[in-house]
């Protein structure tokens, strides 16, 4: 989160980084290297939370050779990391539109933020167990034709081919599939092209078309310029959620452990 709790290891409970929605996260060692260099140059000044916020910006900006948005700094680091807190706060890939909207609203974010930030699914992969029930056992019939009717049929066949067909594999959390076929390594608005074509991987992706207002925003975001302007504004708002400042929290010396 915005207090870098996702970076912490936890000796007494399951850490946030080990919660199911976070199992595909990578690059922790990169953050550690950056932190080590900063501690050598200016100890106790730059928080892990600020490093994460800046790294998020830079990781999607580098292909354009310019910063896509400005990052406010001054965050401090949290001292608690819990998988249960992550599960309570991260929208589930099985969420309906109403659940998604409620989740975002509880954080002070609106409908447009919900749709725009879903565009982050243009990069990365999804685990088969998080969407396999849409492909093989949608209504409980347990046959190859029991597919979520909201999925584009050729896309459903593609996903079925990636996620092998047997009951054990319905719970397969090791096989991964690109969330945005054709653009999974590029930060762009291609995700919304796929969603419009009923090629959203998760129930939560397809949910964006189940509400007229969110579907209209999906249409608007087919324009690349509109997407980048909107994403810049929404991610800056998201970066202000639950921020610790002043004397709250700490500036960790190492990002994976709290200060002793």
Alpha-carbon gap, residue 147 to 210, rounded angstroms: 17
**Residue 16, annotated ligand binder?**
yes
| Percent of the chain surpassing pLDDT 90 | 75
Kindly tell me the number of DSSP H helices and DSSP E strands found in the chain. Answer: 11, 2
CATH code for residues 1-92+242-260: 1.10.520.10
Alpha-carbon gap, residue 13 to 86, rounded angstroms: 13
Give which of 245, 255, 244, 243 is closest to 35, Cα–Cα: 255
Residues paired with 77 in a beta bridge: 250
**Count of CB atoms within 10 A of residue 113's CB?**
20
**Residue 188, annotated ligand binder?**
yes
Mean pLDDT of 168-176: 69
Instruction: Give me the chain's average pLDDT, please.
Output: 92
For the cut 90, the answer to whether the pLDDT of residue 185 exceeds it is no
Alpha-carbon gap, residue 192 to 4, rounded angstroms: 29
Mean pLDDT of 194-208: 97
Half-sphere exposure for 148 (CA within 13 Å, toward CB): 23
Mean pLDDT of 60-74: 93
**Residue 113, annotated ligand binder?**
no
**Count of CB atoms within 10 A of residue 64's CB?**
11
**Residue 145, annotated ligand binder?**
no
Task: Take residue 123 and report the two structure tokens written for it.
Answer: 């990069």
Give the largest CA-CA distance in the chain.
61
Per-residue pLDDT band for 23 (boundaries 50, 70, 90) equals confident
For the cut 60, the answer to whether the pLDDT of residue 167 exceeds it is no
**Residue 180, annotated ligand binder?**
yes
For the cut 60, the answer to whether the pLDDT of residue 128 exceeds it is yes
Determine contact, residues 55/31, Cβ cutoff 8 Å: yes
Q: What is the DSSP letter of 250?
A: B
SS3 at position 76: strand
Q: For residue 83, what pLDDT is reported? A: 92
Mean pLDDT of 123-137: 88
Q: For residue 173, what pLDDT is reported? A: 73
**Residue 1, annotated ligand binder?**
yes
pTM of the model: 0.90
For the cut 80, the answer to whether the pLDDT of residue 230 exceeds it is yes
Per-residue pLDDT band for 156 (boundaries 50, 70, 90) equals very high
Domain boundaries defined on the chain? 1-92+242-260
């Amino acid at each position: 989160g915005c207090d870098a709790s996702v970076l912490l290891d936890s000796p007494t409970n399951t850490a946030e980084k080990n919660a199911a929605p976070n199992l595909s996260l990578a690059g922790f060692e990169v953050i550690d290297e950056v932190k080590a260099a900063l501690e050598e140059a200016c100890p106790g000044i730059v928080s892990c939370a600020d490093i994460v916020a800046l790294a998020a910006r830079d990781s999607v900006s580098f292909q354009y050779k310019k910063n896509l948005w400005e990052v406010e700094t001054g965050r401090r680091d949290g001292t608690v990391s819990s998988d249960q807190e992550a599960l309570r706060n991260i929208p589930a890939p099985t969420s309906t539109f109403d659940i998604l909207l409620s989740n975002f609203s509880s954080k002070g974010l609106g409908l447009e933020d919900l749709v725009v930030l879903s565009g982050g699914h243009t990069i990365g992969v999804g685990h088969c167990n998080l969407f396999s029930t849409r492909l093989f056992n949608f209504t409980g019939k347990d046959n190859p034709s029991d597919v979520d009717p909201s999925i584009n049929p050729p896309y459903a066949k593609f996903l079925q081919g990636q996620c092998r067909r047997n009951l054990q594999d319905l719970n397969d959390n090791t096989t991964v599939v690109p969330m945005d076929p054709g653009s999974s390594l590029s930060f762009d608005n291609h995700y919304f092209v796929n969603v419009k074509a009923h090629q959203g991987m998760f129930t939560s992706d397809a949910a964006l078309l189940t509400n007229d207002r969110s579907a209209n925003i999906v249409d608007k975001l087919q324009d690349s310029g509109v997407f980048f302007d909107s994403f810049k504004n929404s991610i800056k708002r998201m970066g202000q959620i639950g921020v610790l400042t002043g004397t709250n929290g700490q500036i960790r010396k190492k990002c994976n452990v709290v200060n002793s």
